[in-house]
Amino acid sequence: MKKIELEIVALSHSITQTHSYAVVLGEVNGLRRLPIVIGGFEAQAIAVALERMQPSRPLTHDLLKNFMNAFNVDLHEIIISDLQEGIFYSKLVCVNDHDTVEIDSRTSDALALAVRFGCPVFTYDHILESAGILMEDAPGGKKKGSPTTTTISEPGSRDDLSGLSLDELNSLLKEVLDQEDYIRAISIRDEIQKRSK
C-alpha cells in the first residue's frame, strides 16, 4: 500500500466531546484532513513540542525521547496504520545501527513523539477515504515545507482573556506555566502577542 504523508495543521478543543481535543492532520500537497480526537494530556504534550516550550520537568514523551536517544534508537517515522470502530491504530518505526522495529502505539502518543523527533507521519489512502474530510481548494494553499499552523482554543477562553489587562495576562501566564498548563499558556501568550502588535 502507498503511504500518504500528513502534517499537523491544527490542535483545538473538541466540540463533540468534553475534556477532549482534536488534532487535525493535513495531507501534504493535498486537500484532505484527518481529525483525530485525543485526550487533554496528549494534546498538551503535542502543544508543548509544537510551540517549542521548555517545561520545568520532562514530560513523559520527553522522557521516552531521551531514553531512545541514550540507547541510539531513532524514530524514523510513524504510520497511522488502521482504523477500527472509530479508533486509530499507529506504529512507531524505530531504527538503530542494527535493526528496524515497528512498535504499536496509540496515535496521540505517536504524534507527540513525531513532533519531538521531527519525523514524518504517514497513513494509507483507505484511512483518509473513510475518516478524512475534503477541504475546499483555497488560493495560496499550503505546500510542503510551509510552517505548521497551530490553533489551540478552549470554549470561552478568548472572551475570558479579552477582558484582562496586559499586566494581568502576564501574571496569569506565569501562574499557568507554574501549574504546567501549557495549552492554556499558549492561548494567553497568543493574546499577549496580539496586543503587542
Q: Tell me: the pLDDT tens digits for 117-128?
A: 999 999 999 999
Q: Is residue 158 domain-shared with residue 148, that is, in the same domain?
A: no
Q: Is residue 88 domain-shared with residue 145, that is, in the same domain?
A: yes
116, 136, 152: which is the final residue of a domain? 152
Mean pLDDT of the chain: 82
Question: In whole angstroms, what is the distance from residue 77 CA to residue 190 CA?
Answer: 31
Torsion angle of C-alpha atoms 52, 55, 57, 62, degrees rounded to 10: -20
Mean of pLDDT values over 160-179: 81
Mean of pLDDT values over 4-32: 83
pLDDT above 70: residue 44? yes
60-85 confidence digits (pLDDT tens)? 999 999 999 999 999 999 999 999 98
pTM of the predicted structure, to 2 decimals: 0.72
Q: Is residue 13 domain-shared with residue 48, that is, in the same domain?
A: yes
pLDDT value of residue 151: 43
Query: For the chain, what is the domain count?
Result: 2
- Residues 150 and 189 sit within 8 Å (Cβ to Cβ): no
Give start and end residues of each alpha helix (H) in the chain.
40-50, 60-70, 107-117, 125-131, 157-162, 166-178, 182-196
Range of the domain at 112: 3-152
Q: Considering only CA atoms, which of 148, 153, 159 is closest in space to residue 118? A: 148
Query: Looking at residue 114, which CATH number applies to its domain?
Result: 3.10.690.10
Q: Residues 66, 3, 132, 138: is their CA dihedral positive or negative?
A: positive
Cross-strand bridge partners of residue 23: 11, 36
Q: Is residue 127 domain-shared with residue 56, that is, in the same domain?
A: yes
